[in-house]
Amino acid sequence: MATAEELKRRVRELENELIKCKQRRSSEEQVHARAKIEKMSAEVVDSNPYSRLMALKRMGIVDNYEKIRSFAVAVVGVGGVGSVTAEMLTRCGIGKLLLFDYDKVELANMNRLFFQPHQAGLSKVEAAENTLRNINPDVVFETHNYNITTMDSFTHFMDRISNGGLEEGKPVDLVLSCVDNFEARMAINTACNELGQVWMESGVSENAVSGHIQLIIPGETACFACAPPLVVAASIDEKTLKKDGVCAASLPTTMGVVAGILVQNVLKYLLGFGSVSYYLGYNAMQDFFPTMAMKANPQCDDQHCRRQQEEYKSKVTEHPKQEAVEEEVVVVVHEENEWGIEVVSEVTEAELQAASGPEPDLPEGITVAYTIPEKEETSGQTVEETDQSLEDLMAQMRKM
């Protein structure tokens, strides 16, 4: 039988041990956070997470790096490409990130960067937000755990693109498509055409060894409905890949490269340096990186795309030199040329026109992802003139 003295000593011991245990837990949690930083500084000290980015100014690459904090970017799809895209933007100090994904983290995702085994079972947007907020608490995060292709979610998605900017009520500055299927790409395309929202598309082939990024400016460049989506040629038939019980291959390398060239294009577009690429492909087998550009198709199936084309035309007519510079929605001020964009590939006006049809005259090594069966042998035939509507094509894709 323990004496009162012994019991009191035991209580003190246990209280001390409990305090220590709680302190350890607390420190394990709290050590993850760094304090928020009010103003980006270029000071060269080990404790400054922005010193290497602010150095881009001193090196003459970027005029005003701090401006990165004024932008809001939506990332749709937080998988192999989207998660790394979000991490890069977070580490670059973007103002706000909006993340959209309906999926959960699985161990089967561990062959790509970003997610870790202990996150299996969490929603991708929740897991990503936890990690990213911890990496950079200066970024504002907004996450949506839903499938943008369902009716209600699509309406909400449209609303957040229009109003989810850094200042609530203003549109986001850029939408990035990092999804892995045709339907979700078409949903983003439809939303961005209706809203006149500039966006960038990205994709990786199902054999994991090619990928691409593409800039879409509604009314100016080809939208996703203007021309069939393009892929860098792979030596296998894309159509034979999707079969029941068979999963696509993926590699952290290809997805890391695609996320890297995507976010690089975003930085160049938002901060106004270098040449923004309209289309950049990556063929990993040959280390071949084709570039090209495609104009919008006047016979595009999407009415909002045709409306944007009309608006773009009158804008160019009214302000032939500076139509984009004063443009409120685009936000970015490009000082070098109209759009701050140069076509990297040597594509002529005629080639661009030719590329607007259903079977564009593509640079060597690029092929369309899905071909539409031709009905007649007329040249200049467009998607709209074929027997199949894009809805039919989508239905067909779903069945594959």
- Selected from 149, 189, 250, 309, the binder of its own copies by CB under 8 A is 250
The interface with its own copies within residues 207-226 (CB under 8 A) comprises 207-209
Of the candidates 192, 247, 300, 305, the residue annotated as catalytic is: 247
From the number of C-beta atoms within 10 Å of its C-beta (0-12, 13-18, 19+), residue 166 rates as middle
229 scored as a contact of its own copies (CB under 8 A): no
Binder of its own copies out of 44, 333, 395, 400 (CB under 8 A): 44
Smallest separation (angstroms) from its own copies to the CB of 175: 18
Residue 106 CB, nearest approach to its own copies (Å)? 4
The span from the CA of 248 to the CA of 241, in Å, is 7
| Calpha distance 299→226 (Å, rounded) | 8
Q: What is the DSSP string of 80-127?
A: TTHHHHHHHHHHHT-SEEEEE---B--GGGTTSSS--GGGTTSBHHHH
Q: Is 239 an interacting residue with respect to its own copies (CB under 8 A)?
A: no
Of 189-197, 253-261, 302-310, 325-333, the segment contacting its own copies by CB under 8 A is 253-261
Q: What is the DSSP letter of 170?
A: B
- Report d(CA 144, CA 152) in Å as an integer: 13
Shorter beta-carbon distance to its own copies: residue 50 or 312: 50
Q: Which residues pair with 129 in a beta bridge?
A: none
Of 63, 150, 167, 236, the one binding its own copies (CB under 8 A) is 236
Per CB under 8 A, 117 contacts its own copies: yes
The three-point CA angle 97-258-211 to 5° equals 130
What's at 354, amino acid-wise?
A
Residue type, 5: E
Within residues 301-320, the interface with its own copies by CB under 8 A covers none
Clarify whether 21 is annotated catalytic: no
Within 149-208, which residues bind its own copies (CB under 8 A)? 206-208
245 touches its own copies (CB under 8 A):
yes
* Cα distances (angstroms) measured from residue 166 to each of 7, 23, 72, 152: 59, 37, 5, 24
- Contact with its own copies (CB under 8 A) among 41, 51, 130, 382: 51
Among 73, 81, 84, 148, binds its own copies (CB under 8 A): 84
Interface with its own copies includes 398 (CB under 8 A)?
no
Please pick, from the candidates 123, 190, 254, 308, the single residue that binds its own copies as defined by CB under 8 A: 254
Q: Which residues are catalytic?
A: 247
